[in-house]
Structure 1
């Protein structure tokens, strides 16, 4: 019985020496949320999200994705991806990108929209 009690005290002492994880303090990254939750893009085609010209996410209708990114500028390009849904054949698209500047600890949300110039991001509220 005494051995068990001493073992328990020793275990609790060892756990107290382990540093606790904390979400407080300076964050060295930012969170970027891109959503296709609204039906502003009238197509069933999958949309590819390119961060700095690298395919980083794929979105169908009613989906969203998030990225943990270092602070600083990031170029975001959106394009329709062929092949995953009927009628989504590759074609000529406007290959423009948007540049966002992210700050450490910042959470930004954007929604995908479409107009005469193609796909683009609109700032959205977080609604938490």
Structure 2
């Protein structure tokens, strides 16, 4: 039970590292966009052509590396948190039709939520900080 956060961190880090690196090196065959709706195609065309997707994938790789290392896991979660929220939002609002219930989306969201819960004391310390002001 004590190793569960390390296992979850390794799995989450592996997923983001794999898909982040695949964006640059194309070693995985991705499904064709034939089943994508016009909103999905327009969205991904816009973020691809603007360079934002490259930036996002670099952040995924950085967050993946940090989340695998227990001492830097919370920094990794701070980087990957907005990415996970956007993955959920894209699948809910843009892709639609129950795409938010796809197994990869659920697994990534569940692993992220678990790691956030496991490290909640560190995050609560940020909120409960009573720093003295000069």
**Common fold, TM-score beyond 0.5?**
no
Greater RCO (Cα-Cα under 8 Å, separation 6 or more)? 2
Bigger proportion of residues as helix = 2
Task: Sort the TM-score into its range (normalised by shorter chain).
Answer: under 0.3
Q: Please, what TM-score do these two structures have when normalized by structure 2? A: 0.24
